[in-house]
Amino acid sequence: MNSPSTEFTRRMAIYEQFNQISRLGDAFNCGDSPNTGSSAIVEVDVGLENKAGYISCDQVEPSRSDQETNKPDDKTQRRLAQNREAARKSRIRKKAYVQELESSRLKLAQLEQELERTRQQGIYISSASDSGYFGLSGTVNPGISAFELEYGHWVEVQDKQTCELRNALQAHTTDIELQILVESGLNHYCNLFRIKAEAAKADVFYLNSGLWRTSAERFFHWIGGFRPSELLNVVMLHIEPLTDQQQLEVCHLRQSAQQAEDALSQGIDKLQHNLAQNVASDFSWGNYRAQMAVATDILEALEGFVNQADHLREQTLLQMVRVLTTHQAARALLALGEYFHRLRALSSLWAAHPR
Amino acid sequence: MHYQVDSWGYYMPRMSMGSDPMERVAKLASESAVVIFSLSSCCMCHAVKRLFCGLGVNPTVYELDQDPRGKDMEAALMRLLGNSQAVPVVFIGGKLIGAMDRVMASHINGTLVPLLKEAGALWL
């Protein structure tokens, strides 16, 4: 431990150490997380402790064998063992710490993205509707924030399911496996309608406006989503060949969906008409409160329409799958997944489109 | 309303036949092929009326806000459906179909039109 050769080795080891640490620091500096600076500093500290432990262990080994001829000191042995233990623990702690930092960095990047998106939509909302949306404190409706996060996750899962369907159909898997994929696809759509129903309770205007969808999707917006009859048109391009019976049933389904859509559209038109009549008919102040109470009652009906529209979408999907074979149903769900995916991609391309 | 004092000494209004709201609902429902109970201010009722008219059906509509016994019938329908919304409610051939969601589900799965034909509300 005290020989001149070990002293030299130790100095060399410390020189090595500094080289290592500066390389580690560079690796951390490539991120744009604000944590980078402090993390590099801490990394150095941990590194020093670790390196020192390791080097001393390494350094000591040869001298221990040298000393074997002169009776190994019990105290020294115990100290060396403790050093090895400390070094090992230190390495484990360092590994865990680094992993934690990495995942925190990723999470922070994700959260910043979410925040940016919410902020942009928030600016859009408060400029488009009444300024009271966020209130004086600028807080966001928590039911809507929850919906946005859930919907983002829903889209990710849908893209995954679309890939699975594509792979399964290309690989010519069995009908039983396709059936499982079809059923999970249908369940996934039911989940969407469920979270939309919750969002409708939180803020039906937000849901009805389609602000939570991408721009190309919003172009086709009808009472909180797509028109079921239009989606059937998309599907019909991809499920040939159909038997005569199936052809008839699919056409009937499309026609029924159109008739139901027309009925709901007329209902909403009536709602608009009633509301406009109510608000426009009397500008006196004496009747103000009563007028607003009636107007509020009228507006409450909007939630019912959004729910009925989603109910129509769900029923149309279920009936479509009933009419088709398993293989056709799988192709139908794949067609829908691809269609939505491409519309979303189109929206991104459009946003980046030079003008 | 006809009051009669019975042996216990309190007034008990004699019920005339058919003024039990649920009975009245059932009676009206069986009088036409397609019966819709509605409120004139309700837009979902408007939607269901438009649906049937679009199919070429001429439904019999009872606006409960314009009926003197309407309030009681509304309450009875709410109990029947187990719903906070009494209207719209649709009966075909005297049988209860249900509220808007049941009507739409039945149209989408292809059972509505056969029911209408059976009740004589639709031809061809």
* Test mutation, A315, A317, A321, A322, chain B, max B CBs within 10 A: A315
B47 Cα distance to chain centroid: 16
Per-residue DSSP letters for A271-283? HHHHHHHHHHH--
- What pLDDT is recorded for position A24? 53
**Pairwise CB contact (< 8 Å): B43 & A270:** yes
The whole-angstrom separation of Cα A268 and Cα A306 is 10
- All residues of chain B having their beta carbon less than 8 Å from the beta carbon of residue A276 are none
Spatial CB neighbours of B39, under 8 Å, sequence gap ≥ 6 = B45, B63, B64, B65, B74, B86, B87
Answer whether residue B60 shows pLDDT above 70.
yes
The whole-angstrom separation of Cα B78 and Cα B86 is 5
In the predicted model, residues of chain A with pLDDT beneath 70 are: 1-72, 120-139
- What pLDDT is recorded for position B15? 47
**Pairwise CB contact (< 8 Å): B108 & A252:** no
Cα–Cα distances in angstroms (integers) from residue A332 to residues A77, A166, A309, in the given order: 73, 11, 21
Instruction: Point out the residue among A249, A301, A315 whose CB comes nearest to the CB of B104.
Output: A315
The whole-angstrom separation of Cα B48 and Cα B38 is 9
Instruction: Kindly state the DSSP code that residue A147 receives in the 8-state scheme.
Output: H
* Test mutation, B40, B44, B48, B106, chain A, max A CBs within 10 A: B44
Overall average pLDDT of the B95-116 stretch: 96
Shortest Cα–Cα distance, A293 to chain B (Å): 14
Whether the Cβ atoms of residue B35 and residue B29 lie closer than 8 Å to each other:
yes
Instruction: Please give the mean pLDDT across all residues of chain B.
Output: 87
Q: Check if B41 contacts A (Cβ < 8 Å).
A: yes
- All residues of chain A having their beta carbon less than 8 Å from the beta carbon of residue B105 are 311, 315
Q: Check if A317 contacts B (Cβ < 8 Å).
A: no
Q: Check if A208 contacts B (Cβ < 8 Å).
A: no
Spatial CB neighbours of A214, under 8 Å, sequence gap ≥ 6 = A343, A344, A347, A348
**Pairwise CB contact (< 8 Å): B110 & A316:** no
Spatial CB neighbours of A271, under 8 Å, sequence gap ≥ 6 = A298, A301, A302, A305, B43
**Pairwise CB contact (< 8 Å): A257 & B104:** no
Specify the long-range contacts of residues B49-55, CB closer than 8 Å, at least 24 apart.
B49/B88, B50/A262, B50/A263, B50/A266, B50/A267, B51/A259, B51/A260, B51/A262, B51/A263, B51/B103, B51/B104, B51/B107, B54/A259, B54/A262, B54/A263, B55/A259, B55/B113, B55/B116, B55/B122
The whole-angstrom separation of Cα A311 and Cα B106 is 12
Instruction: Kindly state the DSSP code that residue B64 receives in the 8-state scheme.
Output: G
- All residues of chain A having their beta carbon less than 8 Å from the beta carbon of residue B111 are none
Closest chain B CA to residue A323: B109
Q: Check if A303 contacts B (Cβ < 8 Å).
A: no
* ipTM score above 0.90: no
Q: Taking the model in full, what pTM does it have?
A: 0.69
Closest chain A CA to residue B54: A259
B91: enclosing H helix or E strand: strand B89-92
- All residues of chain A having their beta carbon less than 8 Å from the beta carbon of residue B107 are 256, 259-260
- What pLDDT is recorded for position A38? 44
Bridge partners of B62, per DSSP, are B37
- What pLDDT is recorded for position A14? 59
Instruction: Point out the residue among A256, A259, A271 whose CB comes nearest to the CB of B43.
Output: A271
**Pairwise CB contact (< 8 Å): B100 & A301:** no
Pick from A205, A230, A244: nearest CA to A323: A244
- What pLDDT is recorded for position A105? 86
Bridge partners of A225, per DSSP, are A222
Pick from A254, A227, A219, A214: nearest CA to A341: A214
User: Could you tell me the two tokens for A2?
Assistant: 């005290």
Closest chain A CA to residue B43: A267
Cα–Cα distances in angstroms (integers) from residue B85 to residues A275, A301, B47, in the given order: 20, 11, 15
Q: Minimum mean pLDDT among A36-40, A107-111, B45-49, B51-55: which range? A: A36-40
Whether the Cβ atoms of residue B55 and residue A259 lie closer than 8 Å to each other:
yes
- What pLDDT is recorded for position A177? 95
Q: Which alpha helices (DSSP H) does A171-243 contain, by range?
A: 175-202, 204-209, 215-218, 228-236
- All residues of chain A having their beta carbon less than 8 Å from the beta carbon of residue B55 are 259
Q: Which alpha helices (DSSP H) does chain B contain, by range?
A: 21-31, 43-54, 70-81, 100-108, 112-118
